Amino acid sequence: MNTNESIWIVKVLLILALIYLAYIDWRTFRLPNTITLPMIFLGIAFNILSDAPFTNLSSALLGACLGFGALWILNYGYRLLKGHNGIGMGDAKLLAALGAWLGWSALPSVLLIASLTGLVGGIIWLKWRNFQLQQAFPFGPFIVIAGIIELLWPQFIPTLILPKLI
C-alpha cells in the first residue's frame, strides 16, 4: 500500500469518527471523553509517526492547546457574564482534536466555518423549535462539518473565499 492510499484510509477513518461524534452530540448534547481525548492523542501521534503527516509536531501540539483553550476562554467569559456555561467542554476537546490532527493554522478556518454553518443551523433549529431561545443547541456537529471541510480542502477559506471577498 502506498502513502497516498494510507493517508486516504486515515482520512476516511477520521471522518467516520467525526461523523459519529456529530451524531452523538446531535442526539445527546454530549461529546464523550472516551472518543474525544483519544482523538487528541492519536492526532499528535499520527503527526509524529506518519511518513506524510498533516502538520508538524509543534503545530499539532499548539493546535491541541489552542483548540481547547479558545473555547475554554470563550466559555469562561460567558460564565462570568451569565453565571452558567455557554458552550460545552466536549466542543473544546473536539476542537483540540482537530487542532492536533490539522495543526493550529487550521483552527481559524474551522471556527469560521463552524460558526457560519452553526448560525444557519441555529436559525433552522429555532424555527423548528418555535423560537424557544432557552433551549440548548449542539455545536459539535458544526465543528465536525468544518473539520471535514478543512481536512479534505485545507485552507479553503484563505485560498478560495477570502481573495474573492477582498
Average pLDDT, whole number, for the chain? 90
pLDDT in tens, 17-37: 999 999 999 999 999 999 999
pLDDT-derived band at 4, boundaries 50, 70, 90: confident
Q: Based on the structure, what is the number of domains in the chain?
A: 1
The rounded distance, in Å, linking the Cα atoms of 7 and 37 is 21
What is the gyration radius of the CA atoms in the chain, in angstroms? 16
> HSE of 68 in the Cβ direction (CA atoms, 13 Å)?
15
pLDDT-derived band at 160, boundaries 50, 70, 90: low
pLDDT of 133 reads 64
Is the predicted pLDDT of residue 8 greater than 90, yes or no? yes
pLDDT in tens, 88-112: 899 999 999 999 999 999 999 999 9
pLDDT of 158 reads 67
Is the predicted pLDDT of residue 162 greater than 70, yes or no? no
Please provide the distance, in angstroms rounded to a whole number, between the alpha carbons at the two ends of the chain.
43
Quote the percentage of the chain above a pLDDT of 90: 72
Q: What mean pLDDT do residues 45-72 have? A: 96
The reported pTM is: 0.90
Q: Which domain holds residue 160?
A: 3-165
